[in-house]
């Protein structure tokens, strides 16, 4: 009996110790964060926020920790991240916080484990060179809904999103033991007010206050903040939220502006400090010198101004997630697939000379012993891959039931958010003249009886082309959505496809339109061994290849024209020979030891492509004139 008692006591002692160890391993010390007396206070002591922006949606989930370690080793104490509504709500009423890189709560927990505070930017408007600024495309289908406005259908939709997000993250606020110290209300709203002078300021203000209230109602109880250009705070700031400024290098102006809209006191923060810049197809790759970024960083440090590098690590616009801008010379400026941003940490997670310089700058200022810089993830070169199958798109669509209508329908009317639509019309009489597509959104290849006539392109404002269609001829207009505008007043004009009439020689072409939907959310299945690609027709190329080791690499797309690439079911994003991006980043975590599959959808297909190659270094700065 005594022996049994001793064994029982040892068991409970061991169980108790195991419980203590488990508690010690998983519990986090509670901290406090507040804005008081002109300071950010962490556990009651003034701190300066040294933050870097990284969007979890733009980085493969297996790489989150590596990138966060890179930030910590650079000397940062905070990570800021947008949440993109349309990445979390994948279809109307379908919410996904688990698959791919969508687990925002796990990202926040990972940041906490790496010793980083978190700034959350839930929008609902994000901008960020992301498709539609983060809004779901189907909002446009509700004719009573007005985007970014004090409009009940829109605010009701925002409330659902904010509440769904809060269910995931509200217990990760610092007030509940988590690392989230601040939450942004709306985003750069002052610029939108300036662009939309047709809307009364009072209506604008009612909308931004409504978003703030929805955040509070959902359970966000850490300090809220706004973020605008320094000249836009009058309309962009929200009562009860800390105003911060974007892109302002003049430290005196930072303080003066925030004082004006925050009771003549701080804390002072530049919420978007740009160490790089965004990039569009067909334009030079933007760069910012290390020296200028270090100089500006020192000025902020010495002036007691907190800051957030936008971006410290940009990542990638995988799939169809890239957005677009516009200017007087371009009706649309689609963003490239890489979101490298010339940031201190490259698209593939590599430290740059800019990173090293900033690390030295921050370490000198804080006197903190920083952890070592993490090693690069393994980089490999793939063997030359020979395609085993190919297919002619015009043959594949024979298996697709077209939508028929008297007039062309938009992507949204076809209930399709992304990808491509082939618009087809058969003529029972010959017609010749100028084909005009003023309603093109965004890029089209024009075929008559299967022969490529040319391309029309919203980016270059090319909306007309001469055509000659014979008796019983077929006109095909193959339209690509190149990403919805994410910034500016045109965000409310984001329908895709053919949104206006098709005219030839001044005549509107109606009746008997067929529309073949090609969203390309998945790789079309090809018959094994079939090689039927036709030069001059859109084509799909497919291959299987074997790897003995995995690692990051970059697909060389410089000999291709325009399209997208899938690896093991993952859409790597768009390529386009015009540049400046000539390679596509392929994360090694998406490759398998053993069998892998690649599929390339090539839209133009001027020449046959028997193989595809990779390289160990990206090419992001090479422009090529479009034909």
pLDDT in tens, 153-184: 999 999 999 999 999 999 999 999 999 999 99
In the predicted model, is pLDDT for residue 248 greater than 60? yes
d(CA 122, CA 87): 12
Q: Is the model's pLDDT at 3 over the cut of 50?
A: no
Residue 29: the pLDDT is: 78
Encode pLDDT of 327-384 as tens digits.
999 999 999 999 999 999 999 999 999 999 999 999 999 999 999 999 999 999 999 9
What is residue 41's DSSP assignment?
E
Q: What is the mean pLDDT of residues 536-541?
A: 97
- Cα 406 vs. chain centroid, distance in angstroms? 36
- CATH number for the domain spanning 288: value is 3.20.20.80
In the set 53, 114, 129, 188, the catalytic residue is: 188
Flag whether 210 is in a domain.
yes
502 and 549, same structural domain?
A: no
Look at residue 575 and tell me whether its pLDDT is greater than 90: yes
| Residue pLDDT, tens place only, 547-562 | 999 999 999 999 999 9
Together in a domain, 112 and 137:
yes
Rounded distance, CA 377 to CA 35, Å?
39
Same domain for 456 and 337: no
Burial profile 193-220: b = 16 or more Cβ within 10 angstroms, e = fewer: bbebeebeeeebbebbbbbbebbeebbb
Residue 107, pLDDT above cutoff 70: yes
The gap from C-alpha 200 to its chain's centroid, in whole angstroms, comes to 31
Asked whether residue 372 is domain-assigned, the answer is: no
Residue where one domain finishes, among candidates 511, 535, 562:
511
Q: Is the pLDDT of residue 459 over 60?
A: yes
DSSP H/E element including 81: strand 78-82
pLDDT (0 to 100) of residue 137: 98
Residue 19 resides in a domain: no
pLDDT band at 525 (very low <50, low <70, confident <90, very high): confident
State residue 244 phi and psi, 5-degree precision: -125, 165
State the pLDDT at residue 528. Answer: 87
280 secondary structure, DSSP code: B
Both tokens of 89, joined, read 């709500």
389 is catalytic: no
Average confidence (pLDDT) over 312-316: 98
pTM of this structure: 0.94
DSSP string, 429-460: S-EEEEEE-TTEESEEEEEETTEEEEEEETTT
The reported pLDDT for the residue numbered 625 is 76
- Structural domain tally of the chain? 3
The length of the chain is 627
What are the tokens at 277?
């810049």
DSSP state of 313: B
With cut-offs at 50, 70 and 90, classify the pLDDT of residue 626: low
Distance from C-alpha of 206 to C-alpha of 203, rounded to nearest angstrom? 5
Token output for 2: 């005594």
pLDDT confidence of residue 27: 35
d(CA 107, CA 591): 22
| pLDDT for residue 85 | 99
Q: Are 478 and 603 in contact (CB under 8 A)?
A: yes
Confidence band of 28 (pLDDT split at 50, 70, 90): low
Q: Is residue 13 part of a domain?
A: no
Q: What is the pLDDT of residue 627?
A: 56
Query: Do 459 and 541 lie in a common domain?
Result: no
Q: Give the Cα separation of 427 and 474 in Å (integer).
A: 6
Distant-in-sequence, close-in-space partners of 571: CB < 8 Å, separation ≥ 6: 318, 319, 320, 520, 521, 564, 565
Sheet with 513-518: list strands edge to edge: 403-405, 513-518, 420-426, 474-480, 443-448, 451-457
83 within some domain? yes
Tell me: do 455 and 548 sit in the same domain.
no
Q: Which of 511, 531, 547 marks a domain boundary?
A: 511
The b-or-e profile of 330-340 (16+ CB within 10 A means b, else e) is bbbbbbbbbbb
Which range marks the domain in which residue 221 is found? 28-366
Residue 501 and residue 552 share a domain: no
Q: Residue 2 pLDDT > 50, yes or no?
A: no
Last residue of a domain, one of 484, 511, 538: 511
CATH number of the domain where residue 547 is located: 2.60.120.260
* pLDDT at site 19: 30
Asked whether residue 234 falls in the same domain as residue 361, the answer is: yes
CA proximity to 60, closest of 466, 615, 567, 447: 567
Kindly state whether residues 415 and 560 are assigned to the same domain: no
- List the catalytic residue out of 89, 114, 272, 347: 272
Asked if the model's pLDDT at residue 17 lies above 60, the reply is: no
Tell me whether residue 18 is in a domain: no
Asked if the model's pLDDT at residue 14 lies above 50, the reply is no
The 10s digit of each residue's pLDDT in 269-310 is: 999 999 999 999 999 999 999 999 999 999 999 999 999 999
Least confident of 117-121, 243-247, 395-399, 544-548: 395-399
Q: What is the pLDDT of residues 65-94, one digit of tens each?
A: 999 999 999 999 999 999 999 999 999 999
Position 621 in a domain: no
In angstroms, the CA 131 to CA 335 distance is 9
Q: What is the pLDDT of residues 466-522, one digit of tens each?
A: 999 999 999 999 999 999 999 999 999 999 999 999 999 999 999 999 999 999 999
Same domain, 288 and 141: yes
Q: Which residues contact 623 (CB under 8 A, 6 or more apart)?
A: 282, 283, 284, 578, 579, 580
Q: Does the structure show a pLDDT above 90 at 22?
A: no
- The whole-angstrom separation of Cα 505 and Cα 261 is 57
Do 316 and 347 lie in a common domain? yes
CB 421 within 8 A of CB 518: yes
End-to-end, the C-alpha distance of the chain in Å comes to 92
Q: Does 235 participate in catalysis according to the annotation?
A: no
Closest of 238, 216, 120 to residue 163, by C-alpha: 216
**Pair of tokens at residue 505:** 């020689």
Least confident of 14-18, 26-30, 208-212, 353-357: 14-18
What are the φ and ψ backbone dihedral angles of 63, each rounded to 5 degrees? -100, -5
Do residues 194 and 151 both lie within one domain? yes
Distance in angstroms (rounded) separating the CA atoms of residues 36 and 334: 43
Kindly state whether residue 289 falls inside one of the protein's structural domains.
Answer: yes
Question: 308, 40 in Cβ contact below 8 A?
Answer: no
Residues 507 and 564 both lie in one domain: no
Q: What does the alpha-carbon distance between residue 231 and residue 436 come to, in Å, rounded to a whole number?
A: 41
């Amino acid at each position: 009996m005594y022996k049994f008692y001793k064994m029982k006591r040892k068991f409970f002692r061991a169980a108790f110790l195991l419980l203590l160890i488990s508690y010690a391993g998983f519990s986090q010390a509670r901290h406090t964060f507040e804005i008081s007396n002109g300071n950010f206070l962490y556990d009651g002591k003034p701190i300066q926020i040294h933050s870097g922006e990284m969007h979890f949606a733009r980085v493969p989930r297996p790489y989150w920790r590596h990138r966060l370690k890179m930030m910590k080793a650079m000397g940062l104490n905070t990570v800021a991240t947008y949440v993109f509504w349309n990445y979390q709500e994948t279809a109307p009423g379908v919410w996904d916080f688990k698959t791919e890189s969508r687990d925002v709560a796990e990202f926040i927990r990972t940041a906490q484990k790496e010793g980083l505070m978190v700034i959350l930017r839930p929008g609902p408007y994000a901008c960020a060179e992301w498709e539609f600024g983060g809004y779901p495309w189907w909002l446009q289908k509700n004719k009573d809904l007005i985007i970014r406005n004090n409009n009940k259908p829109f605010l009701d939709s925002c409330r659902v999103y904010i509440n769904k997000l809060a269910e995931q993250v509200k217990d990760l606020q610092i007030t509940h033991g988590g690392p989230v110290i601040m939450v942004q209300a709306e985003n750069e709203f002052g610029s939108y007010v300036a662009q939309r002078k047709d809307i009364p300021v009072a209506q604008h203000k009612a909308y931004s206050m409504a978003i703030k209230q929805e955040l509070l109602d959902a359970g966000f109880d850490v300090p809220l903040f706004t973020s605008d250009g320094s000249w836009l705070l009058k309309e962009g700031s929200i009562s009860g939220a800390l105003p911060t400024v974007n892109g302002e290098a003049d430290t005196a102006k930072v303080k003066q502006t925030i004082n004006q809209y925050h009771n003549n006191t701080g804390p002072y923060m530049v919420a978007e400090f740009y160490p790089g810049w965004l990039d569009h197809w067909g334009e030079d790759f933007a760069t910012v010198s290390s020296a200028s970024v270090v100089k500006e960083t020192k000025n902020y440090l010495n002036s007691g101004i907190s800051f957030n590098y936008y971006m410290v690590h940009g990542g990638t616009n995988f799939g169809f997630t890239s957005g677009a801008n516009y200017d007087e010379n371009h009706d649309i400026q689609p963003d490239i697939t890489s979101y490298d941003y010339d940031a201190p940490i490259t698209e593939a997670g590599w430290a740059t000379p800019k990173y090293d310089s900033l690390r030295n700058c921050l370490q000198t200022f804080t006197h903190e012993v920083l952890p070592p810089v993490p090693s690069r993830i393994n980089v490999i070169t793939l063997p030359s891959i020979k395609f085993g199958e190919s297919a002619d798109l015009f043959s594949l669509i024979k298996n697709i039931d077209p939508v028929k209508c008297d007039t062309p329908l938009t992507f949204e009317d076809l209930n399709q958010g992304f990808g491509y639509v082939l618009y087809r019309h058969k003529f029972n009489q010959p017609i010749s003249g100028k084909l005009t597509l003023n309603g093109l959104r965004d890029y089209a290849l024009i075929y008559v009886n299967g022969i490529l006539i040319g391309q029309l392109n919203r980016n270059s404002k090319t909306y007309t082309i001469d055509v000659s269609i014979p008796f019983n001829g077929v006109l095909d207009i193959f339209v690509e959505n190149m990403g919805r505008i994410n910034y500016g007043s045109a965000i409310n004009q984001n329908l895709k496809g053919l949104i206006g009439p098709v005219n030839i020689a001044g005549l509107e072409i109606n009746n008997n339109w067929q529309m073949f939907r090609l969203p390309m959310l998945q790789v079309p299945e090809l018959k094994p061994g079939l090689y039927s690609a036709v030069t001059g027709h859109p084509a799909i190329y497919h291959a299987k290849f074997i790897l003995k080791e995995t690692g990051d690499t970059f697909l060389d797309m410089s000999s291709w024209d325009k399209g997208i690439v899938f690896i093991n079911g993952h859409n790597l994003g768009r390529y386009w020979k015009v540049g400046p991006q000539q390679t596509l980043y392929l994360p090694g975590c998406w490759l398998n030891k053993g069998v892998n599959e690649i599929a390339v959808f090539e839209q133009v297909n001027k020449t046959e492509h028997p193989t595809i190659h990779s390289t160990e270094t990206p090419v992001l700065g090479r422009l090529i004139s479009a034909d």
